[in-house]
Amino acid sequence: MAATRTFSIIKPDATRRNLTGAITKKLEDAGLRVVASKRIHMTRDQAEGFYAVHKERPFYNDLCAFMTSGPVVVQVLEGENAVLRNREVMGATNPADAAEGTIRKEFAESIEANSVHGSDSDENAKIEIDFFFKPEEIVG
């Protein structure tokens, strides 16, 4: 099967605790390859645009505040079945429900500060990659 791509964010709770390398190692050990990566401080506009699908959810404002509270690392990951593979290694949204060995089980602080984002479909992966990366920034 051909490799596909997904989009990942290492969130502010994780960069604050210097976990960029530890989380990236988990992604790599899961068979994913980092083909683009940059550390940025998201603007409020970027956070609101990125999470627009959650606009009506009660946690939307807090989530946008959290995602702009410190640096994040946005990444493009490549591998077989990349979206699903990444969702598996991330673990459940709420770390209390996350399986052993997953990133969120090991590192997340709370349902909000849950250390990583990962696209939930191939279609959204493309939209999210395009939101943060120019084609020439991705080197497979």
Tell me whether residue 44 is annotated as binding.
no
**What is the per-residue burial (b if ≥16 Cβ within 10 Å, else e) of 44-62?**
eebbbebbeeeeeeeebee
Burial of 100 (0-12, 13-18, 19+ CB in 10 A): exposed
CB of 124 to ligand IDP, least distance (A): 10
Size of the site for ligand IDP (CB under 6 A): 9
102 near ligand IDP, judged by CB under 6 A: no
Tell me whether residue 87 is annotated as binding.
yes
Residues found near ligand IDP in the complex (CB under 6 A): 54, 59, 63, 93, 111-112, 114, 117, 120
Residues found near Mg ion in the complex (CB under 5 A): 120
